[in-house]
Structure 1
Amino acid sequence: MYHKLIIAGHLGTDPEMRYTPEGTPVTSFRMASNIRHRDAGGEPREETIWFRVSIFGRQAEIANQHLQKGRAVLVEGRLRPDPQTGNPRIFRRSDGTAGAVYEVRADRIVFLGPRPEGAPPAVEAEEPAVEEPAEEDVPF
C-alpha cells in the first residue's frame, strides 16, 4: 500500500531542530494551509488546516538553516496517524476545547516564493533502503 500527501502553505513557527538518540537530525515546524471558497450565499470563506511537519537527516539541517516563520513551502510526505486510534492526534487546549494535530513525515520540501541567498530550491529526504521479500514470502 502507498499514500502521499502534498501540502502548500506557510510556516506558522520557526523550525526547531533536535537529534534522535542515534544522532540523526530532525527538524520540525508547524505549517498552515488555507482553502478559500464561497458558501451557498456567495460569501467568501476561508478554512485553515494546521500540520506538524518533520524531516530527517541532512535535509533537516538544510530546512532548519533556510526556513523561517511565514515562508511559503510545498511539502510532500505521508500522514502519520495516532498509533492508538489511527486518526489525527486529539488534545485539549488550555481553554478546554478539543483540537487535532495532523502529523506529516516529509520526504521532500520545496521552498516557494523568492529564495534567500544561498537557499536550495528543494530538500529531499534520502531514499530508504527497500528490502525485497524472499520468494517464499510472496503470498501469490
Structure 2
Amino acid sequence: MFNKVVLVGNLTRNIEMRYGQNGNAIGASAIAVTRRFTTNGEKREETCFIDISFYGRTAEVANQYLTKGSKVLIEGRLRFEQWSDQNGQNRSKHSIQVENMEMLGSNNAPTQSGNFNNGNYENQSYDPYASQNNFEKTPQRMQNSNQNQEKIKEIDVDAYDSDDTDLPF
C-alpha cells in the first residue's frame, strides 16, 4: 500500500518539543491548509486544520526555524489515532507524521528544502541542487553556478491557488 501526503500551509502554533525515553526529539504542531475556489461566480475558501508530528532531526530543525504562521511544505504519511477521553468516550483523529519538509517564505530560515529524516545529517544540505560529491569547484564552475542561480525565478504558490480553470483530472 501507498500512504503519502503533501501539504503546503501555515503553522497554527509554535512547535511543542519533547524528548522520548530514548532521547529522540518529538515535535508537535498543526498546519492550516486553505483551498480557494469559485462556486456560481462566488469566490470561496475552505481551511483544513491538521495536526502534524515531527521526529528526530526534523523536529529539532522545525523547532529552531519555524514559528506560528510560518509557511511550510510537508511530506509525510497519514496516521489514524484512537484513544479514550476522561469520560470514557472513544475519540479519534487523523494526523500527519512528517517525513520531509521545506520551509517557505521566511528570511530567517534556510530557503531550500532539507531532507531531515533518518540518515547522515552532517553531509546533508539545505540546497537540493548541491552536488553530493565532495570535490573542489574551479572558478569556472563557481561562475557558471552563480549565473544559474540568478536565472532561477521564485514561484509564488498562492498565485496558483486563485486559478479558476478546471483541471482535466
Same fold (TM over 0.5): yes
TM-score (norm 2): 0.60
Deviation at 1:60, TM superposition (A): 0.9
Residue of structure 2 equivalent to 1:59: 58
Equivalent-residue separation in structure 2 for 1:37 and 1:120 (angstroms): 29
Deviation at 1:119, TM superposition (A): 7.0
Describe the SS at the equivalent of 1:111.
Answer: strand
1:40-92 CA-partner distances (Å, limit 9, x unpaired): x21111100111111111221111010001110000000001358xxxxxx98
Could you tell me which runs of 5 or more consecutive residues in structure 1 were left unpaired when the two chains were aligned.
85-90, 93-99, 128-140
Larger relative contact order (Cα-Cα within 8 Å, sequence gap ≥ 6): 1
Larger radius of gyration: 2
Which contiguous aligned blocks of 4+ residues in structure 1 show a shift greater than 6 angstroms?
none
- Percent identity, aligned pairs only? 34
How is 1:1-140 mapped onto 2 (pairs within 5 angstroms)?
Answer: 1-39=1-39, 41-83=40-82, 101-116=93-108, 121-126=113-118
Deviation at 1:120, TM superposition (A): 6.4
Q: Which amino acid aligns with 1:70?
A: G
TM-score (norm 1): 0.72
Describe the SS at the equivalent of 1:74.
Answer: strand
- Contact 1:62-1:123 within 8 A present in 2 as well: no
Length, aligned pairs only = 114
Could you tell me which runs of 5 or more consecutive residues in structure 2 were left unpaired when the two chains were aligned.
84-89, 120-169
* Distance change in 2, residues 1:117/1:110 (3 Å): closer
* Distance change in 2, residues 1:117/1:35 (3 Å): closer
Q: Which amino acid aligns with 1:8?
A: V
